[in-house]
Amino acid sequence: MIPVHAAVTQATLVNYSLVAIYSSMFIYALAFIFFTYDLAWRVSEARQLAAAPAVEVVAAKRAGQLTTKTALLDRPGPVPPGFEVAAATKVKRSLSARLGMVFTVMAWLLHVGGTVFRGLAAGRVPWANMFEFTLTATAIIIGVFLVIQFWQDLQFLGAYVTGFVLVFLGVATINFYVDVIPLPPALQSYWLVIHVFVASLGTGFYGLGAGLSVVQLIQARREARGLGPVRAVPTAEKLEALAYRLIVVGFVFWTFTLIAGSIWAEHAWGRYWGWDTKEVWTFIVWVIFAGYIHARATRGWRGSRSATLAIIGFSAVLFNFTIVNLYFHGLHSYSGL
């Protein structure tokens, strides 16, 4: 007997999910446009500032605190290595950046809604195949981006983040789409819930860290050319400190992913490590980011060099997710028991 009503509900939920995702893509596109416009504004702002004769001291007084804090550049005396200034340089916000944020939040709510509907339709967590994993991972990237705003103004990354997510949602809905099908036995495990979710979290943090590193490289080049610090975007040094903090969180999640994946592999395949293609790439990513962390502690490797490593590391994450999933054969492709 086929439970007809169940089939109908599933189809309906799948449709809700897709409608929500398509709508979110439309709004992300609007956000992307505003963020790009804001970037253009920042660059022209930077030009004006670079033309200004002197760099003024930025003193940001924090309410409730007894002290006046000065921005990194203006700190009197030497700054000990490894020391980072907590206070953010206050950056003027443009209207377009604020609109970008508003649209991003709206799109994200739809995005999360669409992902949840997909999970409801399937009757399980919505990250069991590439299509679903892309929905969830991109929702997490935006979620991390939004949550971090409470602590640190990262609006200048808006164009990067929304553009990135838009591309991946597009590829997911067009190229990765699969109908809701039941999980093969190897995937039926609570480790699916934990392992894959934490992997997406790690991906989110790595992605933002890599984005910051890209901006850092651009800033560093500007600064090296003597164009002066650009106030509309944090200094290269500050960007590096931010990227580092995000990436070490990503690294912790990634380490957990690796361990949890090994435990799961032992349950499902009878060995915890077998140098399966997917395992190899997860390991490669882990080692690259361990290298990044080391580079940050090695004299001569701070700055642009370690930023480049972060970007290479995140490229390996993307490679692992796209090329390895699609073209390499291994146990992770679930070609049958």
Partner 1 sequence: MASRPSSDQSTDPKRPSDHFDSPELAEITNPRLGVVGTLRFFWRQLTSMRTALFLLLLVAFAAVPGSLVPQQTSDPNGVIQYKAANPGWSKVLDFFGVFNTYSSIWFSAIYILLFISLIGCIIPRTMHHIAALRTPPPKTPARLDRLPGYLRTVDAPVSDEDVADGVGAARDLLRASGYRVRVFDNDSASAERGYLRETGNLIFHIALVGILVAVGLGGGFIWTGQKVIPVGQSFANTLSDYDSISPGRWFSPDSLEPYKLTLTKFTPVYERHNLNAIGEAIDYTAYLRASVPGQKATNVTIKVNSPLRIGDTDVYLLSNGVAPVVTVRNPKGKVVYTQPIPFLPQDADLTSEGVIKIPDGLSKQVGMIGLFYPTECSPAVCGAAPRSVDPQLINPVLTLQVYTGDLGLNSGKPVNAYSLDTDKLTQISGFGTKTPGITLRPGQTAKLPNGLGTVELNRVIRYVGLDIHHDPTQLWVLSFAVLVFLGLITGLFIPRRRVWIKAVRRGGKVHYEYAGLARGEDPRLDDAVAEIARKHSQLLGLNMKP
Site for ligand HEM in 288-307 (CB under 6 A): 290, 293-294, 297
Binding mask 251-270 for partner 1 (x = CB under 8 A): xx--xx--x--xxx-xxxxx
User: Smallest distance from the beta carbon of 239 to partner 1, in angstroms?
Assistant: 14
d(CA 208, CA 160): 9
Residue 140: Cβ within 10 Å count:
22
d(CA 125, CA 128): 7
Binding segment toward ligand HEM, per CB under 6 A, in 62-70, 199-207, 212-220, 286-294? 286-294
Give which of ligand HEM, partner 1, none residue 184 binds (C-beta under 5 to 8 Å, depending on kind).
partner 1
Is position 7 an interface residue for partner 1 (rule: CB under 8 A)?
Answer: yes
Q: Which amino acid is at 301?
A: W
Binding segment toward partner 1, per CB under 8 A, in 30-38, 166-174, 206-214, 277-285? 277-285
Between CA 10 and CA 14, with CA 11 as vertex, the angle to 5 degrees is 85
d(CA 255, CA 314): 15
Is position 252 an interface residue for ligand HEM (rule: CB under 6 A)?
Answer: no
d(CA 336, CA 12): 29
Give which of ligand HEM, partner 1, none residue 252 binds (C-beta under 5 to 8 Å, depending on kind).
partner 1
Q: Do residues 263 and 272 lie in contact, with contact meaning Cβ atoms separated by under 8 Å?
A: yes
Is position 23 an interface residue for partner 1 (rule: CB under 8 A)?
Answer: no
Binding mask 107-146 for partner 1 (x = CB under 8 A): ----------------------------------------
Closest CA to 81 of 318, 317, 299, 236: 299
Is the Cβ of residue 42 or residue 195 nearer to partner 1 in the bound state?
195
d(CA 189, CA 167): 30
| H-run or E-run covering 24 | helix 4-51
| Footprint on residues 53-92 left by partner 1 (CB under 8 A) | 65-69, 76-87
Q: Which residues face 61 on adjacent strands?
A: 68
Q: Do residues 205 and 249 lie in contact, with contact meaning Cβ atoms separated by under 8 Å?
A: yes
Member of 172, 204, 276, 321 binding partner 1 (CB under 8 A): 276
Give which of ligand HEM, partner 1, none residue 66 binds (C-beta under 5 to 8 Å, depending on kind).
partner 1
Give which of partner 1, ligand HEM, none residue 332 binds (C-beta under 5 to 8 Å, depending on kind).
none
Member of 12, 59, 274, 326 binding partner 1 (CB under 8 A): 274
